Structure 1
């Protein structure tokens, strides 16, 4: 970490907003005008809309992440967490991955910590649930599902087999519907290579407390998505929650009970709980309260955007909705990051701030290979697409939104190769514990058992 007399712009979080805001600031800044420091527990940014495809093996996991140090060569990148912020002293406490915590002074602050999975105190969820917020979880889910097929193909115990081939997904938004669509596709393909496992032996359940899935694309396309998944054998339970999943025994509040080794939790997100320790004004759901310029309310040196911010939706408010807020999606995050970067540079130079305003352009969702839904907004007209054409729109939009030219090329290369080569169905489950085999080989051999009576003292010879 360098020391400098220049003003420091501290970016807390290296996700979509943090990465793009830092790039924008560095691009707009004059040489030597300030130091940009980015702090994140990971040394890379994850493009989360591609996690379902990474879980299904359609995209290499390495291609859905962007290394921060490579993309931000002129910035300081610190791998660690910001644990506290003292606004009076303008000092942040950094907890690195190793070593003791230390204080880092700053002059301008960007809050871009994103969101975490929204969970509830459901018995067994912490021990058995699998999230879908990071690339590690996507890789883990893929390996886990293929391992279940391996188990089912190799066992003669019908209860073990049934539990291995039952897959429960909780949450019917983008993450849940896209993930179950992609994973079902992968499992259907993989079953062709097993002698004792067929698609008919598997059971996929999608559970949501709402009365519809994919609310982001509207009720008609959401209904189509539900019918499409059900046509592929997925059981969709709406207005239904999960009461418990202790030891993989899933109990739904509609009376249904199943045993499953695979419980995927995608039931929404919430702002990073660490925000509550920063002394910032928060909204009712824990988001940082910002104005239309993305400045945190009551400050002139702190900005926030993305999933951890409560940003007024000016377009919605002009249309009569006084309580409109920008939804947490990549469409807004990308555009907010650019305005935020411009406003930080303007604030540093004493220039006026720009307001953030963006009209919704629609939404796209992939439900597996060649399957999807899309709603494209063009002025007052909404174009609704489904099937293969919607899937092309999904890939085109997210392929272009993927940060950096390097990663765009790699993603499109993965898709192109998949047109000619069959899907990989190899489980690398040993990645979860890569040292286990070496440990078994290297651990000390147990001492040989002493023969019976070896510990007794010799008896005196009779005279």
Structure 2
């Protein structure tokens, strides 16, 4: 039997679906004397990303979609910080804690699941002005910002300023963008009717942009067209084949030549792997770590890569496809990676990851949704039941499921009071402020730390 000093050290980077599920499975499969498990995460909760639009819209509370890691993990050591770089040769992970201290974590085995950040482009003003939807704080700040625009529009006597305050632009016609717009559009319409007698709901304009020729292409032509119809019936202006050319504090210029007077640009045009990947110096596939089907990384011993930051081959699809950066894949990869790590520690062969897609759900708010569970196309209330039933089933704790279900019922029964928490006086809530992509280290910087 090992002692605390000679236990195998397993460090997991990332407290998202992949990292937490890996830690939970390792806790069940390894005895305490076999391994010390450490999880590095800047937050002390596991964020249930699919319901972030519900937080922004005020349909559920932030606590409902953020179960505590201490409720989920019994004996994993939590390091409250962000991994900035990894030196595989020295087997060291460089971490900056939430109080600004930098420390070096040594490991015997490293599980890399740092997730993703908002994908941005070299568009003038984008990072300074755009608001993302990748973190709990971003969702809460976005809600504050949107309600603030209603308050400011109601208070001003300047018609041009009022029109700009009431014009909102969302970029990204995938799940995040479509659900975020749908929820916030319902919020502004309901708030205008209930609390803002000077604001006609018809004055509020929501725009959805995407460079793709169709909305929600992953759902197929029929369901994508149905979602397009439902949103347009609610007054949403949808421009496909169009994106943003430049952004200023009070306007958004589009690639089709139009300029929209607006103080709100919500950017959900995809994700990119965490900048932590750049510190490894390994082969990548479109910015994601090129991993094998068993999550090992060519050229990096004792490292497994999974989740959004890893390009794991999708054996179910074949033809060189890699797994999409979705919660479904991340959750199942975390469990499978844990089993592979246990197999490696006990001298057994590791196995490749293979997963059958369960389907897709898109919640458009109220009774409206489009869903495709197991390939079955659903719309309207049946689709909404499937969407919300899926979320309740996949939330990781019974407390989170109870809170979320209660929030849905309460919101349906009594509505929302549309209050601001008061964040915006001290923070901008933009992508640049929240995702801190400039903080990561280069491979040279990581190696320099290891040599000291």
For normalisation by structure 2, the TM-score amounts to 0.90
- Is 1:146–2:143 an aligned residue pair? no
Q: CA deviation at 1:87?
A: 1.6
Select the residue among 382, 394, 399 that pairs with 1:389.
382
Is the 2:117–2:272 contact (alpha carbons within 8 Å) kept by the matching residues of 1?
Answer: yes
Q: CA deviation at 1:31?
A: 2.8
Provide Cα deviations, 1:355-394, integer angstroms capped at 9, x if missing partner: 21112221110112211101122xxxx3111111111111
Query: What is the alpha-carbon distance in structure 1 between the residues aligned to residue 227 and residue 331 of structure 2?
Result: 27
Is the 1:45–1:68 contact (alpha carbons within 8 Å) kept by the matching residues of 2?
Answer: yes
Match of 1:160 in 2: 161
Gaps of at least 5 residues in structure 2 are: 428-452
Query: What is the alpha-carbon distance in structure 2 between the residues aligned to residue 115 and residue 259 of structure 1?
Result: 31
Structure 1 residue matching 2:10: 3-state secondary structure:
strand
Query: What is the alpha-carbon distance in structure 2 between the residues aligned to residue 333 and residue 352 of structure 1?
Result: 22
Query: What is the alpha-carbon distance in structure 2 between the residues aligned to residue 251 and residue 175 of structure 1?
Result: 22
Is the 1:272–1:308 contact (alpha carbons within 8 Å) kept by the matching residues of 2?
Answer: yes
- Is 1:77–2:74 an aligned residue pair? no
Provide Cα deviations, 1:271-323, integer angstroms capped at 9, x if missing partner: 0112110233322x111111111222344521111111111111112xxxx22
Match of 2:405 in 1: 412
* Structure 1 ranges of 4+ moved more than 4 A: none
Query: What is the alpha-carbon distance in structure 2 between the residues aligned to residue 99 and residue 179 of structure 1?
Result: 32
Structure 2 residue matching 1:391: 3-state secondary structure:
helix
Alignment of 1:203-218 (within 5 A): 203-218=205-220
Alignment of 1:284-363 (within 5 A): 285-299=286-300, 301-317=302-318, 322-363=319-360
Structure 2 residue matching 1:254: 3-state secondary structure:
coil
Provide Cα deviations, 1:185-218, integer angstroms capped at 9, x if missing partner: 1111111121111210111100111101112211
Match of 1:248 in 2: 250
Q: CA deviation at 1:123?
A: 1.3
Match of 1:259 in 2: 261
Is the 1:301–1:347 contact (alpha carbons within 8 Å) kept by the matching residues of 2?
Answer: no
Structure 2 residue matching 1:130: 3-state secondary structure:
coil
Match of 2:438 in 1: none
Q: CA deviation at 1:397?
A: 0.6
- Is 1:174–2:171 an aligned residue pair? no
Is the 1:291–1:311 contact (alpha carbons within 8 Å) kept by the matching residues of 2?
Answer: yes
Query: What is the alpha-carbon distance in structure 2 between the residues aligned to residue 130 and residue 15 of structure 1?
Result: 21
Query: What is the alpha-carbon distance in structure 1 between the residues aligned to residue 269 and residue 100 of structure 2?
Result: 35
Alignment of 1:35-184 (within 5 A): 35-98=36-99, 100-184=101-185
Query: What is the alpha-carbon distance in structure 2 between the residues aligned to residue 60 and residue 247 of structure 1?
Result: 29
Q: CA deviation at 1:400?
A: 1.1
Query: What is the alpha-carbon distance in structure 2 between the residues aligned to residue 289 and residue 282 of structure 1?
Result: 5
Query: What is the alpha-carbon distance in structure 2 between the residues aligned to residue 431 and residue 255 of structure 1?
Result: 34
Is the 1:295–1:304 contact (alpha carbons within 8 Å) kept by the matching residues of 2?
Answer: yes
Q: CA deviation at 1:99?
A: 5.0
Q: CA deviation at 1:259?
A: 0.8
Query: What is the alpha-carbon distance in structure 2 between the residues aligned to residue 151 and residue 31 of structure 1?
Result: 56
Q: CA deviation at 1:41?
A: 1.9
Is the 2:145–2:424 contact (alpha carbons within 8 Å) kept by the matching residues of 1?
Answer: no
Query: What is the alpha-carbon distance in structure 1 between the residues aligned to residue 279 and residue 301 of structure 2?
Result: 20
Match of 2:238 in 1: 236
Query: What is the alpha-carbon distance in structure 1 between the residues aligned to residue 54 and residue 325 of structure 2?
Result: 20
Q: CA deviation at 1:177?
A: 0.5
Structure of greater relative contact order (alpha carbons < 8 Å, 6+ residues apart):
2
Q: CA deviation at 1:235?
A: 0.4
Match of 1:450 in 2: none
Q: CA deviation at 1:142?
A: 0.9
Match of 1:277 in 2: 279
Structure 2 residue matching 1:293: 3-state secondary structure:
coil
Gaps of at least 5 residues in structure 1 are: 436-463
Query: What is the alpha-carbon distance in structure 2 between the residues aligned to residue 431 and residue 4 of structure 1?
Result: 45
Query: What is the alpha-carbon distance in structure 1 between the residues aligned to residue 390 and residue 284 of structure 2?
Result: 32
Is the 1:85–1:279 contact (alpha carbons within 8 Å) kept by the matching residues of 2?
Answer: no
Query: What is the alpha-carbon distance in structure 1 between the residues aligned to residue 158 and residue 426 of structure 2?
Result: 28
For normalisation by structure 1, the TM-score amounts to 0.88
CA pair 120-434 structure 1, distance change in 2 beyond 3 A: closer
Of residues 350-359 and 203-212 in structure 1, the stretch that sits farther from structure 2 once superposed is 350-359
Query: What is the alpha-carbon distance in structure 1 between the residues aligned to residue 408 and residue 100 of structure 2?
Result: 42
